């Protein structure tokens, strides 16, 4: 299969060929088509597969191409080549060099069929490399720094191809009770779909809890739709962000068909999807979405950039845990577009008296067994306080797993956190409480809900907090004795392309 096809040649095309040959160690998946005899001779001297033919004639094109670059210095011929390439390769990623002094009509014609249009300005070759996602480390800033795309395929091109094949709008699904990383990633993927004319909605199940999460949504005016308002039949495709299996930690029916998955958590089961990008070495899904935006030349609007930057900060705990070079690079790129003043307001929300009360109760009632701390805080008025208490209990010496739970409105709610632990918090809560309620989450963060049911019918000699604690703690610590370990990577049976 031809991965890269060069139509027409010029200084831009020549620079691209030279770079590709150098960075790929002589390996070649590039085919060039040009009727300029001088460039034909030059390219063949470099052992580049070159066809001397009209680059606007699709009859000379190979059977397949993942990425097509239009690179002559004739604007009108570039228009014709771009149109022919789009008709021949409807799923390919097309990057078109306009040539010098294009007219408005020529520019509009190329923009109608190309995924990215490159202006003839300084460092144009670098910008082409960035858009294509060539292997190596040469970037738009000229000093060689931008994130790496996989060596065995062109993920940016394949993502766009998957989106183009949808029969209708895209539904981007964040996991239930989404955190900033899931919120920002859902918005970012919807923005990518919309950039190629695919309508998209971002949605979530459960609640947007935690004071910082609510502040993020309110201050930025983020428009995520509750899943309860969604008609699945109205969408031509589904994408999952920050999780990887339908019906597991989201509100989709289990096993619902999925087209796109973008996540940074190692999966615990087979991952279905036409396009799957799971990178456990990266600290956040927002990092991956920011990388794609950069590849496509999409400058994120201020609100989106702010949300993505916050998503990276939260999931890496301000770059102090599970952080890769990609996270630093993505954050640095987003910083130029983000609103730092809004970030400061999001990161420093006021703490409610209820949160402080729950935290005090969690500390007072903690049951520490080895490196695990569980605490029943009794009746609560704000379930968000449980997550904050679980996070704070991780600061206890030698504690790596926490579980804080309480009840309100006839339901027991629980929140678990894990840091530096071998076990998987999400699977632990599923084993303990999913049989009697619902539970789920990731390896380091999870939640559960259990109806009070007959537990609320206590005798005069019993107290409801004691009954709840005995029931929940019993199941939790029993499951803990055979706790599932965290997944450490992708099994070969899990598709990643």
DSSP string, 345-408: HHHSPPPPHHHHHHHHHHHHT-EEETTEEEEEEEE-S-THHHHHHHHHHTTSTT--EEEEEEEE
What would the DSSP string read from start to end of 63-109? S--SEEEE--S-HHHHHHHHHHHHHH-TTSEEEEE--SS--HHHHHH
Tell me how far CA of residue 416 lies from CA of 14, 367, 376, 390, 434, in angstroms.
56, 14, 12, 6, 14
pLDDT attached to residue 349: 62
Q: Are 396 and 424 in contact (CB under 8 A)?
A: no
More confident residue, 70 or 350: 70
Q: pLDDT above 90 covers what percent of the chain?
A: 46
Q: Which CATH number fits domain 158-347: 3.20.20.70, 3.30.465.10, 3.90.1640.10, 3.30.70.980?
A: 3.90.1640.10
pLDDT attached to residue 28: 63
- The model carries a pTM of 0.64
Q: What is the CATH number of domain 353-480?
A: 3.10.310.30
pLDDT over 60 (residue 237): yes
pLDDT in tens, 243-295: 999 988 899 998 899 999 999 988 877 888 999 999 999 999 999 999 999 98
The mean per-residue pLDDT over the stretch 136-144 comes to: 37
Q: Which of 358, 459, 350 is nearest to 408 (CA)?
A: 358
pLDDT in tens, 451-487: 998 787 766 667 899 999 999 999 999 999 887 666 6
pLDDT attached to residue 334: 94
Alpha-carbon torsion angle 337, 341, 347, 350, nearest 10: -150
pLDDT attached to residue 255: 87
pLDDT over 60 (residue 202): yes
CATH topology for the 4-136 domain: Rossmann fold (3.40.50)
Cβ atoms < 10 Å from Cβ of 409: 10
Q: Are 129 and 19 in contact (CB under 8 A)?
A: yes
pLDDT band at 152 (very low <50, low <70, confident <90, very high): very low
Strand 367-369: give its sheet, edge to edge. Answer: 367-369, 372-379, 401-408, 411-418, 445-451, 438-441
The whole-angstrom separation of Cα 457 and Cα 464 is 8
Residue 481: strand, helix, or coil: coil
Q: Are strands 93-97 and 4-7 parallel, antiparallel or unpaired?
A: unpaired
- Ordered by start, the domain boundaries in the chain are 4-136, 158-347, 353-480
pLDDT in tens, 352-366: 888 899 999 999 999
């Amino acid at each position: 299969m031809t991965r890269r096809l060069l139509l027409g040649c010029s200084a831009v095309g020549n620079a691209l060929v030279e770079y590709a040959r150098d960075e790929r160690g002589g390996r070649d998946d590039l085919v060039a088509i040009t009727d300029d005899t001088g460039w034909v001779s030059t390219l063949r001297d470099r052992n580049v597969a070159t066809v001397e033919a009209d680059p606007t004639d699709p009859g000379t094109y190979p059977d397949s191409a993942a990425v097509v670059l239009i690179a002559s210095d004739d604007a009108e011929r570039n228009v014709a080549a771009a149109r022919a390439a789009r008709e021949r390769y409807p799923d390919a990623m097309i990057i078109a060099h306009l040539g010098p002094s294009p007219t408005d009509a020529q520019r509009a014609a190329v923009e109608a069929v190309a995924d990215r249009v490159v202006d003839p300005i300084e460092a144009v070759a670098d910008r082409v490399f960035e858009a294509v996602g060539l292997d190596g480390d040469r970037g738009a800033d000229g000093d060689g720094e931008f994130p790496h795309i996989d060596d065995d395929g062109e993920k940016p091109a394949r993502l766009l191809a998957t989106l183009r094949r949808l029969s209708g709008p895209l539904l981007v699904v964040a996991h239930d009770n989404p955190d900033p990383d899931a919120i920002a990633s859902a918005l970012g993927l919807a923005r990518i779909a919309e950039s190629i004319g695919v309508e998209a909605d971002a949605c979530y199940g459960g609640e947007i809890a935690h004071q910082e999460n609510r502040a993020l949504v309110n201050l930025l005016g983020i428009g995520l739709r509750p899943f309860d308002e969604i008609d699945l039949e109205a969408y031509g495709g589904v994408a999952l962000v920050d999780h990887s299996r339908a019906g597991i930690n989201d509100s989709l029916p289990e096993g619902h068909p999925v087209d796109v998955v973008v996540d940074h958590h190692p999966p615990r089961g087979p991952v279905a999807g036409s396009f799957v990008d799971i990178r456990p070495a990266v600290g956040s899904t927002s990092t991956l979405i920011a990388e794609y935006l950069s590849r496509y030349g999409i400058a994120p609007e201020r609100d989106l950039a702010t949300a993505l930057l916050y998503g990276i900060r939260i999931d890496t705990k301000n770059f102090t845990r599970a952080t890769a070079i990609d996270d630093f690079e993505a954050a640095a790129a987003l910083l130029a577009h983000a609103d730092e003043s809004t970030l400061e307001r999001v990161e420093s929300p006021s703490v409610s008296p209820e949160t402080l009360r729950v935290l005090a109760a969690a500390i007072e009632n903690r049951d520490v067994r080895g490196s695990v701390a569980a605490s029943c805080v009794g009746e609560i008025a704000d379930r968000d306080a449980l997550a904050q208490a679980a996070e704070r209990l991780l600061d206890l010496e030698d504690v790596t797993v926490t579980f804080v739970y309480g009840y309100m409105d006839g339901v027991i709610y629980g929140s678990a956190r894990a840091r530096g632990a071998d076990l998987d918090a999400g699977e632990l809560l599923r084993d303990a409480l999913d049989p009697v309620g619902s539970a789920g989450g990731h390896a380091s963060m999870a939640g559960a809900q259990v109806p009070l049911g007959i537990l609320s019918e206590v005798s005069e000699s019993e107290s409801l907090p004691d009954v709840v604690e005995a029931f929940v703690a019993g199941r939790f610590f029993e499951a803990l004795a055979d706790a599932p370990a965290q997944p450490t990577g992708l099994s070969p049976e899990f598709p990643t392309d």
